[in-house]
Structure formats: C-alpha cells, structure tokens
Amino acid sequence: MMFKRNILLVTGALLALSACDSGKGVSAKNESVESVQNKVADAVASGEFMKPGQWAGTVKITDMTMPGMEKLPPQMQEQMKARLAQGHSFENCLTPEDARDPKARMAENSGGKCTYDHFEMAHGVIDAKMSCTSEAGPRTMTMKGTYSGDSYQMEMASTGQGEGPAGMSMKMQMSAKRTGACKAGEV
C-alpha cells in the first residue's frame, strides 16, 4: 500500500512539473507542499501548463530494500527484484482544464506532514527533496530530471525508516511523453 501511494504521489508531482519552460522558474527551501504548489501555479499561470493530450510512460524500479527482506530465500528475493525491474507502463488523457491547473496534480500531504527541503525547477531541469513525517515513520523523497511541455525523464528515490513497509527504500526511473490527442471518450 505504501509503495503504491508513493508511486502515485511521485507520478502526480511529475505530471505537475512537466510544464513548458516559460522562463519563470521556481525555487524554494524548507517550504510546505502547499507553498511549492502555489509557486508552481504562479510560474505557469501565464502560459500553457502542459500540452493537453494523451500521455504514455513507464516507471521502472531500479533498486528496492525493505527491513526483513534479507530473511527471504535468495531465489524469492531475485524473483521480486526481477519482477519490479520489468517496469510498469501507464497512459492517461490530460484535458486542457487539467493542463492549466498544476495544483490539482501535485503531491498531496496525505498520510503525514511533508516539507520540501529544496525545490528547484527552471529551464527544463528539476531537482527536489521532500521530507515527510507520519505515524509509520519518517520518509525522504528526491527527484532529479528534465522536462518540457511534451515529455519528462526523472530519477527518484524514496527512503523510509521503521519496520516493515515503513522502512522500505526504492529508486526508480520514470519517463513519459505526449503521444497525440486524447483517445475518444476520455476528454
């Protein structure tokens, strides 16, 4: 459950950050998620946020560890890693309304309190680090990559502290591109 929520959180943030580079960047240090959302919204308010249309991409987990995982038989560990390394494809329609509203697509503070340690987005490059606290334990997430109005490539990492799923750490790569108009019935 934690794994799926983290992927959704990162996916939403990445879709929000794939704005066209209008020259107005975003820079923040030790700020709330809401504050960064507002800065991103202000930066893209004067132009098209993302190019509307059909988007397709992949998420590939390149490394994952979890407390207790080392107790599993080596064959099972390798099977898990091989399955995760296959990646996951996704596709969605971005409507013109969604493209103009970055706040609706960015990470929410569900399940804990999160703060961006730093957030830099300008000239097609993003570099961000977010720290979260919750009952399950602290978690740190980083994103580094490039973006444009019709594509993005990111490397992300999420590191948690605690027992079981709360202590899971993973690294992943994500890329997506606009493939054309939305499919009939999706707008």
Q: What is the pLDDT of residue 7?
A: 45
In a domain, 148, yes or no: yes
Q: What is the pLDDT of residue 6?
A: 41
Q: What is the pLDDT of residue 42?
A: 76
In a domain, 110, yes or no: yes
Calpha distance 22→42 (Å, rounded): 11
Q: What is the pLDDT of residue 10?
A: 45
In a domain, 185, yes or no: no
Using an 8 Å Cβ cutoff, are 31 and 115 in contact? yes
Looking at the structure of the chain, the number of domains it has is: 1
Q: What is the pLDDT of residue 45?
A: 65
Domain extent, residue 68, equals: 2-176
In a domain, 6, yes or no: yes
In a domain, 163, yes or no: yes
pTM for this prediction: 0.75
The 3-state secondary structure of the chain reads: CHHHHHHHHHHHHHHHHCCCCCCCCEEEEEEEHHHHHHHHHHHHCCCCCCCCEEEEEEEEEEEEECCCHHHCCHHHHHHHHHHHHCCEEEEEEECHHHHCCHHHHCCCCCCCEEEEEEEEEECCEEEEEEEEECCCCCEEEEEEEEEECCEEEEEEEEEECCCHHHHCEEEEEEEEEEEECCCCCCC
In a domain, 186, yes or no: no
In a domain, 183, yes or no: no
In a domain, 85, yes or no: yes
pLDDT averaged per 10 residues, the chain (length 187): 43 48 74 84 64 91 84 85 83 81 56 85 90 88 90 93 83 94 79
Q: What is the pLDDT of residue 145?
A: 93
